[in-house]
Every structure is written in structure tokens, then in C-alpha cells.
Amino acid sequence: MTSPSVSVESVTKRFSGHTAVNKLSLDVYPGGIFGLLGPNGAGKSTTIRLIMGILEPDQGKVSLFGSSDGSRKLSARIGYLPEERGLYKKMKVLDHLIFLGETKGISRGDARRRALAWLERLGIADWALKKVEDLSKGMQQKVQFAGALLHDPDLVILDEPFSGLDPVNAQVMKDIVVGIAKAGRTVLFSTHVMEQAERMCDRIAIIARGETVVSGTVAQVKADFGGRHVALGFSHDRERATAILADPRLIARVDDYGASAELKMADGADPEQLLAALVREGVGLRRFEVVEPSLQAIFIAKVGADPAAIPLPAGVAA
């Protein structure tokens, strides 16, 4: 087996008494997209900063491409988009990209050519000679994105790359990320948006409170989670379903979205029983589908941090 592009071995990082990352381990193998998932404050950014060598771990070891030289020596092979976007506000977009390219060790002429190509690709070529501060936030993010990818890195590390983007731009960025992975390079990105991770990632690690909760390929994680899941869509008389959804003999867990819900069936309960019960009560259904558990559902079940989920009444469950 090839050595992992990123290997984090039992790393711990504390900040003045509070442990941000606790004995966390993960391996990112070359090729494909690796999703680092977790709620806010789970330690995603800290983990990424540890990988980038921006922070030093208190314990444990980080190696990149099988070497522990640190990201700075290998910076020509790594592209990094930090969570906190930062650009020199007064610089012109093109100059800025050229400078970022130079800090990665590519020549000025080369950097200029690549910067222009990227600006073209991201649809902001007209802004090349404008100052960064004149750009909208979304455009600035694109510029920074281009800066991280300018030197064709083998490993791309993106911290919340899609946050703050409108759907059109998010789509553009997603296509680029998928393209990078298809070209055989490795992408590691963090997000708290599960739908995105589910559609894009080959492998994921869910972390919470600085520890790994689940990791593996998406299929594997879903299979391990087990159980039978039903996705419901309501068209009318939603309130008549309330009693059925609260029945612990039928349903183990509800992830309620109002007009729709994702359910985990109780052990021994049958989806057909549920459908019959709902029809009997006269609940208007738009959708009734037996599904794989979504990452969202797994995430909520494992982390239990999503306030949108309805907790089961404790007395009934007992």
C-alpha cells in the first residue's frame, strides 16, 4: 500500500487548559477526496493547522508524503486555503496571485500565465487589474482559491471551502475540486455541511470534541451505522403523524425537517407497518422511501449536537 499523503498519529493540542484536539489519528491516502466533518468547534481547523505545521502538536506526530519535514519544506506540493480568508487588500488581483505563486517557488512569468488562466476559468478575468478590496467577498474567495491551486499541488487542503458562497459559485468550486481529484491528486477538505460531503467525498472522518467519531469510506461508514432508514415527505396533515413518529416500537430516531423527516426504524419494526399507520391516520405523503442513512443522520446520531433533531421522549424509550 502506498504511504498516506497525510498521516496524523495520535495528535493532541491544548490551548490554555482546553483540549482542542485529543489523540486524533487519521490517514489520507493519495487520490480522491477526503472529508473532515464535524460540528463547529470540533477541532477541524485546529487539525488542519496542525497538518499544515502552522501549529505544533503538544503530543503525537504529523507527516506529509511520508516525511516529517513539515509543510513548509513541501509547500511546493501543497495548496492551502485557510478558513479565515486573507489577502492583501490593496494589491491588484493579478499581482497578488503572482506573489502567492512566487512564495510557492514558481517563476514570475509562469505564475503570471497560470494566474491569468485561473482568473479566466473562475470567470473573474475582468477583475485582474482591480484591487482586492474592490472585489466582492465571493470573488475574493475565488482569488484565494486560485492562489491555493496556482502551483498545481499534489495535495490540496481546503478549510471550509464552500462557506459563504452562493450556489452558482459553490458549484464552480465543487467542479474544480472534483476535477483535481479526477486528475489523481489528493483533496482534503473540512465542512460541516453533510450533504456536500456525502456527494463529493470518497472517504470521511467525523470528529467531535477533538476526537474521531467515525472514519472510513462513505459506503463503509453507512454500512457500519446499520439499521433501516425511511425518508418521508409530507404534503398535508403533518400533525396527524406526530403520535406515530413518537412511537418507540416503530421508530428509534427522528430527524425532523418539518415538511420532511428522516427516520431510523426501531429494531424489529417494518417500514410497511409505518406506511400502513401513516395512511390509516390520513397523513398526506409526498414521499415514502426506504433509504441508506444519510451522513447527516449518522452525524447527528454519533455527535448528537444538532439541535434540529427531536430527542426521543425519555420515559417512552425506557
Partner 1 sequence: MKKIFAVIRREFVERVRTKAFVISTVLLPVFMVLMVLLPGLMMSGGDRTRNVAVVDASGGGLGQPVGKVLEAATFGDAEGAKPRYRVQVFPADAASLAQVRDGLIAKTGFAKGRQHDGWDGVLVLADNTLASGKLTYYGDNVTSPESMSRLRRDVSEALAGVRLAKSGVDQALVSKAMAPADLDTTKVSDGKLTGQSGKASFMIAYFMGFVLYLATLIYGQQTMTSVIEEKTSRIMEVLTSSLTPFQMLLGKVLGVGLAGLTQMAIWVGSAFVLGSQGARLAGAFGVSAEAARSFAIPGIAPSLLVVFLLYFALGFLLYGALYAAIGAMCNTIQETQQYAIFVTMFVLVGFFAVFALIKDPTGTLGVTMSYIPFFSPFTMPVRWSMTSVPLLQLCVSLALMVLALLACVWLAARIYRTGILMYGKKPSWGELWRWIRA
Which residues of this chain interact with partner 1, rule CB under 8 A? 49, 52-55, 71-72, 75, 78, 80, 82, 84-91, 95, 99-100, 102-105, 144, 147-148
> Based on CB atoms, which residue is closest to partner 1, 157 or 297?
157
Least distance in angstroms from the C-beta of 86 to partner 1: 3
Nearer to partner 1, 2 or 40 (CB): 40
Contacts of residues 16-21 at CB distance under 8 Å and 24 or more positions apart, as own/partner, are 19/210, 20/46, 20/210, 21/46, 21/47, 21/50, 21/57, 21/210
Q: Which is nearer to partner 1, 82 or 271 (CB)?
A: 82
CA distance 270 to 290: 10
Closer to partner 1 by Cβ: residue 31 or 70: 70
**Shortest CB 211 distance to partner 1, Å:** 24
What is the secondary structure of 199-245 as a DSSP string? HH-SEEEEEETTEEEEEEEHHHHHHHH-S-EEEEEEEE-GGGGHHHH
CB of 157 to partner 1, least distance (A): 9
> Three-state SS for 29?
coil
Minimum gap (Å) between residue 83 Cβ and partner 1: 9
Minimum distance of partner 1 from residue 230's CB (angstroms): 44
How far apart are the C-alpha atoms of 136 and 176, rounded to whole Å?
A: 20
- Closer residue to partner 1 (CB): 16 or 40: 16
Residue 308's nearest CA partner among 194, 166, 155 is: 194
